[in-house]
Amino acid sequence: MSNKVYIVVIALLLGVVGFMAVKINNQDKEYVYISQEYANLDEDRKELAAELEGMKLNYDTLSVENEDMQAKIDEQENELSVLLKKVKNKDYDISKLRAEAETLRGIMKNYIHQIDSLNQLNKQLTMERDAESMRANDAEAKGKELEGELSTSKEMNAKGSVLSTGEFSNLALFERNTGKQVETERASKTEMIKSCFRIRKNPIAKPGVRTLYMSVVGPDGKVLTGKSSGTVSVGGSETPYSVTREVDYQQNDTDVCVYYTANDGYEYQKGNYKVLIYESGNQIGSSTFVLK
């Protein structure tokens, strides 16, 4: 075989090798791209699951005296639990799940708007009733009221911004496979702490949005931490807290529930627990509960 033939054969072989190298390189890039797509999909599911958990907590705090509206709220909360299970099941399309989540979010906002409207109406009726009552007071009663206000104005101004709490109800919860939250006294079953209390009426306190900081102190004396934990200045020193909650306080008795979930992997211990509530640099309430 002549040298020219050898050269041609070698050239052909080099061409084939080059073609295969390019094809293998493209396949590697495609594999990396597909792997990244699945990784992004998992992140999307985790993000959506966190959003749904937050919505579920918001639904838990919605409560009205109207039975029909409360039934609708309960129905949407059940649908939210079903959707949360779908998110954890990778057989479902993430885009469809997001669309369902947005629908539930819109419904929840509508309920909040309706409840706020009812509250505003009740406040208006209360103000009208109080106005009528004030007009019925005689001059002597008004004079005594003014005299009392003048004598205590300095003290009231000093304490006006400090809130107080009471009527605590602390519950340990775990979630069944159906998505329903159930109370428990056993430390081994506990997945979440729910603390409900009342911020007492204070006509001197300024109305508006207040940030509450809740510390859950374990049997070992340490403050339990979670995803939204941090520290807050109380009495001039930095104090750790477990979770925060914003409340629209309008100088009336205000019922509040705060939910705390520990970091992944944390196991609740048996013993006595404390719940401490802080606001505006002051401790405004405390309570205890026991896990067996």
Q: Per-residue pLDDT tens for 122-158?
A: 777 777 777 777 776 665 666 567 666 655 565 555 5
Range of the domain at 11: 3-110
* 133 belongs to a structural domain: no
* 85 belongs to a structural domain: yes
The pLDDT score that the predictor gives to residue 43 is 74
Query: With bands split at pLDDT 50, 70 and 90, how would you rate the model's confidence at 210?
Result: very high
DSSP states of 199-243: EPP-TTSPPEEEEEEEEEE-TTSPBP--TT-EEEEETTEEEEESE
Q: Is the pLDDT of residue 70 over 90?
A: no
pLDDT, the chain, mean: 77
Q: How many residues does the chain have?
A: 292
Pick the last residue of a domain from 93, 110, 127.
Answer: 110
Q: Is the pLDDT of residue 224 over 90?
A: yes
* 184 and 258, same domain (yes or no): yes
* 140 belongs to a structural domain: no
The pLDDT score that the predictor gives to residue 204 is 85
The pLDDT score that the predictor gives to residue 79 is 75
The pLDDT score that the predictor gives to residue 264 is 85
Instruction: Provide the b/e sequence for 267-280 (b: ≥16 CB within 10 Å).
Output: ebeeeebbbbbbbb
* 175 belongs to a structural domain: yes
> Could you tell me how many helices (H) and strands (E) the chain has, helices first?
4, 10
Q: Is the pLDDT of residue 249 over 70?
A: yes
pTM above 0.75, yes or no: no
The pLDDT score that the predictor gives to residue 35 is 42
As for how many domains the chain has, the answer is 2
Query: With bands split at pLDDT 50, 70 and 90, how would you rate the model's confidence at 188?
Result: very high
* 189 and 98, same domain (yes or no): no
* 100 and 171, same domain (yes or no): no
* 221 belongs to a structural domain: yes
> What tens digit of pLDDT does each residue of 153-163 get?
655 555 667 89
* 167 and 281, same domain (yes or no): yes
